[in-house]
Structure 1
C-alpha cells in the first residue's frame, strides 16, 4: 500500500494532439520547441487533420477514453480510491508538468507513470519519464516509471488477434498477404547509443507473428520527421514499392509502435500509404488499433504494479 491513506497517483502520458483546428499552430510550435512553423508547414499539417474524418477531436478523445479505461481497470483490481489517474501530455495541455502539479494539489505523495507507447527509447519514453521525474521531485512526490512493456502477454495476445482478423479481410487471398509491422521512425543516431527501440520493436513483431501463426512478415518504419538528418528506414512507402515490384498484391499493416487511432495511423497509413499502394496495384489493409481494449488495459495495469514495487522497495 502507499504511505498513509493517500492514493497512489498514476500519470498516464502520451504525445498529445490539438483539440481543434484553431490550436494546431500552437501545438506545432510546441513540437518545434517554440519556433513557429512556416505558413507552408502549418498548411501541410492542417490539411492532414482536415483529411481525417471528424477532424482532430476524436484523437483527443482516444486518450481520454484510455485514461478512463485504465482508471476503471485499476479500480476493479484494487478497489476505488487506491489509484487516481492523471493525464500528462508531451505537446499539449494538460502537459506532463500539469499532471504532476494536479497530483501535488490533491496531496499525492507517491506516483507511478506510464507512457501509452510499449517500446522504450531515450528519445521518446525516456524523455517523458525524465520530465515527470524532475517535476515530481519539485513537489516532493516519490515517482517511479514504466520503461517498456513490449512483450507483455496481454499486449501480444491482443495484437495477434487483430492480425488474424486483419488477414481475414483478404478472404481467399489471405495466404498470399504479407504483414508489415511498423512504428514511428527516429533519427538514425540512436543506433550509435545502443538504444533498445529498434530491437524491442522487432521482438514485439516476432512475438505477434508467432502468436498469430504468420510466416510472411517484415518490419518497416513510418512517419519520419523532416529534420534534415537521416532517420531509421526503410520508410513504409519504400517498402510498399519494393513489395509491389516483387509481385505482392496484399499487405496488412500492423502498426505495433502505436496504441490508438491518431494522425500517424489515420492519415499516414489509411490515406497516404493506402493511396500509394493502390497506385501500384496493391491492396493495403490495417489492423484495428488497441485504443481502450481490456487486454491492453490489463497490460498497463500489470506494468504499473511492477513499477509501484520500486516505490515500496525504496521505503
Structure 2
C-alpha cells in the first residue's frame, strides 16, 4: 500500500528567509538589497545600519536559519521523511534564485516552501511570493526547468509554534522577582506595518481594521495568555504592541510602539512586564536591538522590571510542526482528507493564497497563489 503520510508529490523543502549581513563589509550592500529601488544614498544606509555595527556587522538570522536547517534535517531523518532541505534568502546569500537553480540542477521539480514569517501580510507573505515569481522567471529566462513551488500555510496558530512560545513566557515570569511576578503585564509584540497594509492583509473578506495581520496576532496572544493562566493560576492582563517601525513619519503605522507602551505601563503603576515577540520566528536583529537593547534600556530608565521571552527558533517542536505542515499539504495535493492542527478561534489558514490577498501597492506577479503565473 502507498504511504499515506509520505511527502509526495514534493521532492524537496525550501526554507525561505529574509537574510542578513555576516560581517561589517556586508551591512551596506545588504541594506541596499533590502531598499532596492528607493534611491536611498549610501550615507543614509550607513546610518540605518548602526544597529548591525553594534553587533559587529553580523545579523544572527543566518546562524539561526542554519540551526533550523539542522533541526529540520534531524527531525525528517528521525521520522523517515526522505525530503532534502535547502535554504534561500531574499536579501543576502544564499540568494533565493541561486538556491532554486541548485535545486533544479539536483533534479527537483515540486518544491514545498516554508517562509520564516508566520502571519498574513504583504511583507510577510505576498512579497515572498513575488520573490519566488521573480526567481522562477529568471530560471525560465535561462532556459532551465521551472519547478512548481507551493508555499506552506501560515503557521501562527500551529501548536508547534505556539507551545514553545508559551513555555518561554512561563520561564520569563518565573525569572521575575517574586514580589512583582503576579502583577506582571504580558506585552505581546510584533513588527509594525503601515495601517493600510494591515487593513488589506489576508483574504479580501478579512480586510479592514487591521485585517488578518492584527486578528491573527490577537488570537495567538489570547491562546498564550490563556495557557499561562491555566499553568500559573494567575490571570495576567495583556496587550498587543508593535516595534521596528521604519517608514516615513507621515504614513500611519500600527501603534503603540513598545517603548511608548512601557512608559504607559509604568505610569499606570504596573510592577513588571514580559515582552513576548510573537511576531518573530527567531531572535534576529529586530529582537536583539529593538527589544533586548532599546526597549530594555527604556525599562531600566523607568525602573520597570522586564523580561523578554524566547522566540521559537530551532525548537524541536517547531521542526516537528514543519514536518506536519509538509505532510498535510502533500496529502491535500494527493486529494486525501487532511486533519489540520490549529489553536485559537481562527482555525487553520488557507493552503493557497486567494486573489486579492495582501495586495501590493504596485501589482506584481506572485507565485504559489491562486493568481500565480506558474501552475
- TM over 0.5, shorter chain: yes
| 1:21 aligned partner | 24
- After superposition, the Cα gap between the structure-2 partners of 1:171 and 1:93, relative to the gap in structure 1 and judged at 3 Å, is same
Does 1:67 pair with 2:69?
yes
Whether the aligned pair in 2 keeps the contact of 1:182 and 1:257 (CA below 8 Å) is: yes
Unaligned 5+ runs, structure 2: 1-5, 201-206, 230-234, 337-374
Does 1:131 pair with 2:131?
yes
More helix by share: 1
Computed over aligned residues only, the root mean square deviation of the Cα atoms, in angstroms, reads 2.3
Whether the aligned pair in 2 keeps the contact of 1:184 and 1:223 (CA below 8 Å) is: yes
Does 1:178 pair with 2:199?
no
- After superposition, the Cα gap between the structure-2 partners of 1:226 and 1:192, relative to the gap in structure 1 and judged at 3 Å, is closer
Deviations 1:173-207 (A, max 9, x none): 21011110111111111244214111111111111
Which of 46, 71, 78 lines up with 1:76 in the alignment? 78
Where 1:108 maps in the other structure, the secondary structure is coil
Greater CA drift, 68-77 or 239-248? 68-77
In 1: Cα distance, 2:36 partner to 2:22 partner:
19
Q: How many residues were matched structurally?
A: 310
Deviation at 1:262, TM superposition (A): 1.1
Where 2:182 maps in the other structure, the secondary structure is helix
Deviation at 1:133, TM superposition (A): 5.0
Deviation at 1:3, TM superposition (A): 6.5
Deviation at 1:255, TM superposition (A): 0.1
In 2: Cα distance, 1:43 partner to 1:32 partner:
13
Deviation at 1:69, TM superposition (A): 1.2
Deviation at 1:51, TM superposition (A): 2.4
Which of 202, 207, 213 lines up with 1:197 in the alignment? 213
Whether the aligned pair in 2 keeps the contact of 1:18 and 1:27 (CA below 8 Å) is: yes
Deviation at 1:246, TM superposition (A): 0.6
Greater CA drift, 142-151 or 42-51? 42-51
Where 2:255 maps in the other structure, the secondary structure is coil
Where 1:120 maps in the other structure, the secondary structure is coil
Within 5 A, what are the aligned runs for 1:1-80?
A: 1=6, 8-35=11-38, 37-52=40-55, 55-56=57-58, 58-79=60-81
* TM-score, scaled relative to structure 2: 0.77
Where 2:112 maps in the other structure, the secondary structure is strand
Whether the aligned pair in 1 keeps the contact of 2:185 and 2:273 (CA below 8 Å) is: yes
| 1:155 aligned partner | 161
Deviations 1:58-77 (A, max 9, x none): 43211111122112212222
* TM-score, scaled relative to structure 1: 0.90
Whether the aligned pair in 2 keeps the contact of 1:253 and 1:284 (CA below 8 Å) is: yes
Whether the aligned pair in 1 keeps the contact of 2:18 and 2:90 (CA below 8 Å) is: yes
Which of 266, 270, 282 lines up with 2:288 in the alignment? 266
